[in-house]
Chains A and B, each alone.
Chain A
Amino acid sequence: MERSSGGASSWRPPTLSPVKEPPLVTGEDIELALRAAESLAAEADLVDHQDDITRIWASMATAVILSAAALTAALLSDHIKAVGVRVFGIIAVVILLGSVAAFLWWLARASFKPKSSQLRLSLAQDIVGIVREVMLDVAEREGWSYLRLQATKNRISAFPPTATVSKKGRGGFF
């Protein structure tokens, strides 16, 4: 690595004093944070929805392949002698096993891979966790109306509690 041959630099790392009194959170900050969280949660839902559709297509494809194989074997059994039936039977079984194996492999890979929807939901949850802690303080300081306070509370209530998300994803009960 080439070094400058010049004399000692006068540059020194800046001395950063810790911020003793951070700027106060405002209602606008809360609105922006909630919008970001809601946007992330909506994206997470969309990704989940797309995953569901992919699963449905995969299931339908497997069903179609199996049906086609079974139908072919059944049709050929009427016209061709036992050897042909056996050949197509074997083909049907191979297709059956192959498609089932591929589907299971795909499912296993999908279940072990960290889902981007979970990441998005986790980020949204982190944002809401912060908003939840400061919201009442800001509301009191800025004199929020009843409507604004309740609407913000309801928006926060759409998210799962912080503790359950970190442990087991979108937390269910009942």
Chain B
Amino acid sequence: MSTWDESIQRIMNAQGRPNLRTGLRWPWISRLPVVVTGSSGCGKTELWRRLTLKHAADDISQTPDQGYYFRRKKRSTFALTTIPGQLSDVQSLLNDSFFMNRRTKVNGLIFVAAYGYNFIWPEQVESVASILHPYSLDSLRTRNIREELATFDQTCEFIKAKWAHSPKANRPKWLLVLCNKVDLYSADADAAYGYYEPSARSPFGRTAGDLVAKLAGGGFRYHVLPTAMQPREFLFESTRGNMHMKSTLSQDQCDASINLLVDTLEEISGA
């Protein structure tokens, strides 16, 4: 798998375009369930759409066996299901279904992180704006990182629980953390890696390190990868003022990041 520096290099040089394919999942093509998780507004559904080549509504991506990523070299597919970032009944049901049911197989997880640039849904903008003191982009990112960390803590707890009570074949074997929306912080990409890698001293790194230390003996793999689904400016507009951050990558560079992600998925899953 590409190291962080190689990954950044590939994205900056816009190397390769994603060669994704779609089709029917015939019964003889094996199905590996993959859970896509992350806090609200980090880009899970966009990732699901890019990998499955579907343009379905949000709730379709939350339904198991609605979207498949067809692997390049193997006769198998990843059945991708996103778990919503919002605390909700759907999130609880999916978490129960994937992690508390010992008979449900989970091949791996993709945790989508946004390094504080989570999209805030228009209905929630004023609520979020009301808790920002001072009202600044840094405060907003701190708030988003806090939400992300809470989701990651929960995800790690679920992974540990799954390992504790599920048979070996049903346990998740890898966790891929995507530093998504890297087009908004490409200059700080290395700092993002320093935050998300398991040996980092950040709160995220400590949680990740704890998980890796506990499960690495069983063959569990953890990898951090930069991605950007599409170049898009970050906007947060409330009655208290507007904040924005420009995208610094081109569409070709974003496509290269998808290509990198596909390569990594092929390698990390192994099976």
Interface residue ranges, A against B (CB under 8 Å): 18, 20-22, 24-25, 126, 129-130, 132-134, 136-138, 140, 153, 156-164, 166-168, 171, 173-174
The verdict on A159 contacting B150 (CB below 8 Å), with A137-B143, A174-B63 known, is no
Chain B residues contacting A126 (CB-CB under 8 Å) are 123
B90 x A173 contact (CB < 8 A)? yes
- A-B contacts, 11 of them at CB < 8 A, read A24-B131, A129-B127, A134-B130, A134-B131, A156-B87, A160-B90, A161-B86, A161-B91, A162-B86, A171-B90, A173-B93
Chain B residues contacting A174 (CB-CB under 8 Å) are 63-64, 93, 97
A171 x B121 contact (CB < 8 A)? no
B59 x A171 contact (CB < 8 A)? yes
Does B147 interact with chain A (Cβ within 8 Å)? yes
Chain A residues contacting B59 (CB-CB under 8 Å) are 163-164, 167-168, 171, 173
Chain B residues contacting A157 (CB-CB under 8 Å) are 87-89, 91-92
Chain A residues contacting B124 (CB-CB under 8 Å) are 129-130, 132-133, 162
Chain B residues contacting A134 (CB-CB under 8 Å) are 127-128, 130-131
The verdict on A21 contacting B133 (CB below 8 Å), with A162-B124, A173-B62 known, is yes
Chain B residues contacting A156 (CB-CB under 8 Å) are 87-88
How far apart sit A48 and B82, CA to CA, in the bound complex (Å)?
30
Chain A residues contacting B150 (CB-CB under 8 Å) are 136
Tell me, rounded to whole Å, the shortest Cβ–Cβ distance linking A117 to chain B.
16
Does B25 interact with chain A (Cβ within 8 Å)? no
The verdict on A159 contacting B123 (CB below 8 Å), with A134-B131, A171-B59 known, is no
A132 x B87 contact (CB < 8 A)? yes
Chain B residues contacting A130 (CB-CB under 8 Å) are 124, 127
Tell me, rounded to whole Å, the shortest Cβ–Cβ distance linking B100 to chain A.
14
Chain A residues contacting B121 (CB-CB under 8 Å) are 162-163
B131 x A25 contact (CB < 8 A)? yes
B58 x A163 contact (CB < 8 A)? yes
B127 x A137 contact (CB < 8 A)? no
Does B57 interact with chain A (Cβ within 8 Å)? yes
The verdict on A164 contacting B147 (CB below 8 Å), with A25-B130, A134-B130, A157-B91 known, is no
Interface residue ranges, B against A (CB under 8 Å): 57-59, 62-64, 84, 86-93, 97, 120-121, 123-124, 127-128, 130-131, 133, 135, 143, 146-147, 150, 239-240
How far apart sit A162 and B239, CA to CA, in the bound complex (Å)?
21
Report the nearest B residue to A164, measured CB to CB: B59
Q: Name, among A158, A168, A171, the residue most crowded by chain B CB atoms within 10 Å (CB to CB).
A: A171
- Known contacts A134-B130, A156-B88; 5 additional CB pairs below 8 A are A129-B123, A153-B87, A159-B88, A163-B86, A174-B97
B130 x A22 contact (CB < 8 A)? yes
Report the nearest B residue to A130, measured CB to CB: B127
How far apart sit A150 and B121, CA to CA, in the bound complex (Å)?
24
Chain A residues contacting B127 (CB-CB under 8 Å) are 129-130, 133-134
Report the nearest A residue to B146, measured CB to CB: A136
Report the nearest A residue to B142, measured CB to CB: A137
How far apart sit A174 and B87, CA to CA, in the bound complex (Å)?
18
Chain A residues contacting B63 (CB-CB under 8 Å) are 173-174
Q: Name, among B88, B93, B240, the residue most crowded by chain A CB atoms within 10 Å (CB to CB).
A: B88
Tell me, rounded to whole Å, the shortest Cβ–Cβ distance linking B143 to chain A.
6
How far apart sit A156 and B143, CA to CA, in the bound complex (Å)?
19
Chain A residues contacting B93 (CB-CB under 8 Å) are 173-174
Chain A residues contacting B128 (CB-CB under 8 Å) are 133-134
How far apart sit A162 and B84, CA to CA, in the bound complex (Å)?
11
How far apart sit A132 and B88, CA to CA, in the bound complex (Å)?
9
B133 x A24 contact (CB < 8 A)? yes
Tell me, rounded to whole Å, the shortest Cβ–Cβ distance linking A36 to chain B.
15
Query: Across chains A and B, which 7 residue pairs bring their CB atoms closest together, nearest first?
Result: A161-B88, A130-B127, A133-B127, A156-B87, A161-B86, A157-B92, A137-B131
B143 x A161 contact (CB < 8 A)? no
Chain A residues contacting B143 (CB-CB under 8 Å) are 137
Tell me, rounded to whole Å, the shortest Cβ–Cβ distance linking A24 to chain B.
7
Report which of A24, A161, A167 forms a contact with B84, defined as CB distance below 8 A: A161
How far apart sit A156 and B147, CA to CA, in the bound complex (Å)?
15
Tell me, rounded to whole Å, the shortest Cβ–Cβ distance linking B67 to chain A.
13
